[in-house]
Amino acid sequence: MTLNNRQALLLGKAVGDALGAVVETAKPEDAAAYVKGYLRPLACPKDGVFTRPFGQYTDDTQMARELILSVAENGGTFDPKYTAKHWAAFITSGRLTGGGRTTEDAAKSLQNGTPWDKAGNPRPSNGSAMRAAVTALLSTKQDELKHIATLQSQITHTAPEAIAASVMMALGAWQCLHHKKLDKTHFLEALATATADITPQSTEQLERLDGLIRQSPSTVMESLYYTLDLAPEWRKYPGISVHATEATLWALYAFLKYPDDYMAAVSTAISGGGDTDTTAAMAGALSGAYLGLDAIPSIYTDIIHDNGDWQADKLAQLVADLS
């Protein structure tokens, strides 16, 4: 595990987030057209082409960054009580971009004095999974990492599906940082073993995903749609939903479909439409951690920011300081 790969985990997340943000909630066919017209040629849209400024990343990266900051401020130790307080202050300050309802409600509860382990919501959305990959930077021990990923989820998202998705992302990122060559089946088996005690369905879901890796994105999307059979509330717009299980399985597919090509992985995540910033952020974090900084196109690392601050160099330094 090198510093380069550790930094690429966070930058890969931020770039994927920013690239996906401009077509969030888009239909799959529209997201695919954006990928073909801009991302595959490594182009940047002109201002005004999309409703969100190109290069601005969202809460997916903000919350992950603030998690790392809370650990740094706490002497390098993850403490859910400290992180919860830090998150609540950040969220209620109005600086969160595109925040989810579950996370914002938890922040309000925390600000009103609710203990960190009582403020979370049982809605199984992807708000804790989207930030969980960066917890792989906090421990080299997988058991400890699973515990951290679980606790950071419980601050805002208490549903077993959300916790399991968070553990998948954390341990997936851990594998990317610690293995120079991934075996896709072994990768998914490790995630299934780690999450079987959280949601028994995860074993079956990950085994099915292993059989779908060679299939086309449209085939995998159809499989997720019918096998997960989510309630109508999760289908408010076409494409990949904000449900923790669906979003995480799709991000895992995008990464494992193209483990040696950062832009292909992120582009595949975005081509699913729907919650594109989150799925691309998750796939980008895994790909960055596995491939390193050189795999992420500089044309995109050069433009990412958070309202004019926290550009790529500052994000990279944050990881270096944590190391």
- In one letter, which amino acid is 316? A
pLDDT in tens, 70-103: 999 999 999 999 999 999 999 999 889 988 888 9
Buried b / exposed e across 114-133, counting CB within 10 Å, b at 16+? eebeebbbebbbbbbbbbbb
User: Which two three-digit tokens encode residue 310?
Assistant: 């926290």
Amino acid letter, 151 = L
Residue 207 CA to its chain's centroid (Å)? 21
| 77, 147 contact by CB (below 8 A) | no
Q: Please give the pLDDT value at position 323.
A: 78
**Residues 46 and 307: beta-carbon distance below 8 Å:** no
Q: How crowded is residue 295: how many other Cβ atoms within 10 Å of its Cβ? A: 17
| pLDDT tens-digit readout, 208-266 | 999 999 999 999 999 999 999 999 999 999 999 999 999 999 999 999 999 999 999 99
DSSP secondary structure code for residue 36 in this structure: I
**Quick one: pLDDT band at residue 51, thresholds 50, 70, 90?**
confident
Kindly state the average pLDDT of the residues 186-206: 96
**Across 95-104, 269-278, 303-312, least confident range:** 95-104
The H-assigned helical ranges of 127-216 are 129-132, 142-154, 160-178, 184-195, 201-212
Q: Residue 48: pLDDT above 80?
A: no
The answer on pLDDT for 121 being more than 80 is yes
| pLDDT on residue 46 | 85
Phi then psi for 291, rounded to 5 degrees?
A: -100, -25
Domain ranges (residues) in the chain: 3-322
Q: For residue 9, which amino acid is it?
A: L
CB 39 within 8 Å of CB 270 = yes
Q: Give the side-chain half-sphere CA count within 13 A for 170.
A: 32
Number of Cβ atoms within 10 Å of the Cβ of 33? 14
Could you count the other beta carbons within 10 Å of the beta carbon of residue 109?
A: 19
Mean of pLDDT values over 276-289: 98
Kindly state the DSSP code that residue 97 receives in the 8-state scheme. S
Q: pTM score > 0.75 for this model?
A: yes
Residue 25 has pLDDT above 90, yes or no: yes
pLDDT tens-digit readout, 130-161: 999 999 999 999 999 999 999 999 999 999 99
Residue for token pair 């309630």: 231
Residue 50: pLDDT band (50, 70, 90) is confident
Residue percentage of the chain with pLDDT more than 90: 92
Instruction: Tell me the pLDDT of the chain averaged across its residues.
Output: 96
Taking the C-alpha atoms of residue 271 and residue 7, their distance in angstroms, rounded to an integer, is 26
User: What is residue 53's predicted lDDT score, i.e. its pLDDT?
Assistant: 87
Q: How far apart are CA 212 and CA 197, in angstroms?
A: 24
CATH number of the domain at 3-322, out of 1.10.10.10, 3.40.640.10, 3.30.420.40, 1.10.4080.10? 1.10.4080.10
Q: Contact at 8 Å (CB) between 125 and 242? A: yes
Per DSSP, 294 falls in state: G
Beta bridge partners of 157: 121
Give the integer Cα–Cα distance in Å for 276 and 272: 7
